[in-house]
Amino acid sequence: MGKPTGFMDYKRVTSKAVEPKKRIKNFNEFHEHLSKEEQQLQGARCMECGVPFCQAGMNICGMTSGCPLHNLIPEWNDLVYTGNWEQAYKRLKKTNSFPEFTSRVCPALCEAACTCGLNGDPVSTKENEYAIIENAYKEGYAAAQPPKVRTGKKVAVVGSGPSGLAVADQLNKRGHSVTVFERSDRVGGLLMYGIPNMKLEKHVIDRKIKIMEEEGVKFVTNANIGKEVKASKLLTDFDRVVLACGASNPRDINAPGRDAKGIYFAVDFLKANTKSLLDSNFEDGNYVNTKGKNVVIIGGGDTGNDCVGTAIRHGAKSVTQIEMMPKAPDQRAENNPWPEWPKICKTDYGQEEAIAVFGADPRIYESTVKEFVKDKNGNLKAVKIVKLSWEKDKETGRMNMKEVPGSEKTLEAEIVLIAAGFLGSEKYVTDAFKVAVNERTNVKTEAGKYATNVKNVFTTGDMHRGQSLVVWAIREGREAAREVDESLMGYSNLVVQ
């Protein structure tokens, strides 16, 4: 597991980010990664801790600690250190279908649980992973490996996000014939249109899709199952159907003036932006241009941050991010000990860019929208916000948010982007397949299972668990694939973890 004294001999070093004012001039990934030799020294920092919380992926106080995929992190950190890059790739791929994605977009739950991080800096596991997979592509280790035997079974996967791709990848490796249906014009789902290029350039997705096609997976785009394509056709033509359509039903903000022109859901804003970038480098004009506009973003999560970075790249006049929750502490609180996920204030790339461009953090905490203000033509011109306070209900003991009297404030805004999360699956899909849903509109299954109430229909990913991380989507996809395989063959030799 690395060098026994490596965490003392070598300091944590990570890739260098391009300076904010330079990187906002384009939509490219903006990290300058370490050399192979430098990365091997980072592998040496993985200590023989005895209990590798990094790969535990367990629930502590309602939060995940360590990798949900149970990646064999100490093993491939050691292999990086010793320069055995091919074996490192094989151990990494044992549990992770798409390290080219997670090494770019995962929040590194593994590093938050790293034993080195208890009294110092954690091992740079995410960047070790990036080095392994990129070296594998360079050296040819990641080339297509089609299955040698086919089972004759056919599986349809609806949705090509990370969970759907994981299902398809695993079932194809088993020898089943897999067809993935995607309603958009490009494969990738959330990865393609929900995550901007700055975090995940789309040639990375295309590279992997090409390999999956060479291995035998079929992809059908512009196929909206439940509308243009009937669910009954899939149930007739395939032995099994897996629904991996995501939690793509955005949560709305129903304040007065909501019908004003200039209010968009973040998911629609980001999709249009990426599609226009890929189609024409923005020359077609089919996107929401924030140049010279005052932009207010409702929501303080990753999607809100992506909207901040995107708006700034277009040349927004100002960017403000509204967050209902109070600001998290800058350091771990005593009631949030390691190896729990650290509930601390994170300044992400978009907020860093806003600070560099506008001179201040764009976030306003403990606030919500009270009214969208329209001009005489129905265009948005301002947003009224109000401060919130948290008060404990004497009867239930629950904390409730209440408006602070006299705290109203008006922000100039020609564009509002709603990034308030998602409510669950889309009704037309669940109705088309007649699958049961729970009170959160996620597709209902038995606990720990992926089979729905409809024979031969399974579900996975955000559509099953609700809005979550890419790494969880991959984990669910791998588990669902194993359950589908067992239903087809009576047993399964697919490795989940």
Distance CA 464, CA 473 (A): 10
Q: 235 lies in which domain range?
A: 154-248+423-489
**307 belongs to a structural domain:** yes
Query: Of the candidates 314, 305, 323, which has an alpha carbon nearest to the alpha carbon of residue 266?
Result: 305
For 202, half-sphere exposure in the C-beta direction (CA atoms, 13 angstrom radius) is 20
Q: pLDDT by residue (tens digit) across 214-250?
A: 999 999 999 999 999 999 999 999 999 999 999 988 9
Helix (H) and strand (E) counts in the chain = 17, 18
Q: What is the mean pLDDT of residues 406-415?
A: 97
The secondary structure element, H or E, covering residue 170 is helix 162-174
User: Which of 139, 164, 194 finishes a domain?
Assistant: 139
Do 50 and 188 reside in the same domain of the chain? no
Tell whether the model's pLDDT for residue 395 goes beyond 90: no
- H/E segment holding residue 141: none
Please tell me the distance from the alpha carbon of residue 449 to that of residue 378, in angstroms, as a whole number.
48
| Within a domain: 145 | no
The mean per-residue pLDDT over the stretch 420-433 comes to 94
Q: Is residue 188 part of a domain?
A: yes
**Is the model more confident about 37 or about 395?**
37
Instruction: Return the SS3 of 477.
Output: helix
Residue type, 445: T
pLDDT of residue 156: 98
- 275 with 390, same domain: the answer is yes
Q: Is residue 197 within 8 Å of 203, Cβ to Cβ?
A: no
Which amino acid is residue 140, in one-letter code? G
In a shared domain, residues 18 and 134: yes
Beta strands in 251-406 (DSSP E): 263-265, 294-298, 318-322, 363-364, 367-374, 380-392, 399-403
**2 has a pLDDT exceeding 80:** no
410 and 269, same structural domain? yes
Residue 254 lies in a domain: no
Same domain, 179 and 45: no
- pLDDT tens-digit series, residues 126-176: 999 999 999 999 999 999 999 999 999 999 999 999 999 999 999 999 999
Are 63 and 110 in a shared domain?
A: yes
Residue 149 lies in a domain: no
> Token pair 């490996």 is at which residue?
145
The CA radius of gyration of the chain, in Å to the nearest whole number, is: 23
Q: Which tokens sit at 269?
A: 């804003």
Q: Note the pTM of the prediction, 2 decimals.
A: 0.96
- What secondary structure does DSSP assign to 51-90, as a single string? S-GGGT-EEETTEEES-TT---HHHHHHHHHTT-HHHHHH
Packing angle, helices 266-280 and 302-313, rounded to 10: 40
146 lies in a domain? no
pLDDT band at 74 (very low <50, low <70, confident <90, very high): very high
240 and 386 inside one domain: no
Interatomic CA distance for residues 364 and 383, integer angstroms = 13
Q: Which whole number is the average pLDDT over 414-439?
A: 95
Residues 275 and 243 in one domain: no
Q: Could you tell me the CATH number of the domain that includes residue 203?
A: 3.50.50.60
Domain boundary (368, 400, 418) is at 418
C-alpha closest to that of 156 among 457, 445, 431: 457
437 and 396 within one domain: no
Close Cβ partners of 446 (under 8 Å, ≥ 6 residues apart):
none
State the CATH number of the domain containing residue 122: 1.10.1060.10
Boundary residue ending a domain (418, 435, 459)? 418
Q: Would you say residue 256 lies in a domain?
A: no
Residues 357 and 451 occupy one common structural domain: no
Specify the DSSP element, H or E, that contains 237.
helix 231-237
pLDDT at residue 497, rounded to an integer? 67
How many domains are contained in the chain?
3
Phi, psi angle pair for 301, to nearest 5°: -85, -165
Residues 171, 281 within the same domain: no
User: Per residue in 206-227, is it b (16+ CB within 10 Å) or e — as a string?
Assistant: eebbebbeebbbebeeebebbe
Nearest to 306 by CA among 258, 262, 343, 265: 265
Whether residue 196 is contained in a domain is answered as yes
Q: Which amino acid is at 277?
A: L
**Angle made by CA atoms 371, 375, 376, in degrees to the nearest 5:** 130
Residues 123, 191, single domain; the answer is no
DSSP β-bridge partners for residue 219: 180
- What are the pLDDT digits (tens) for 347-379? 999 999 999 999 999 999 999 999 999 999 999
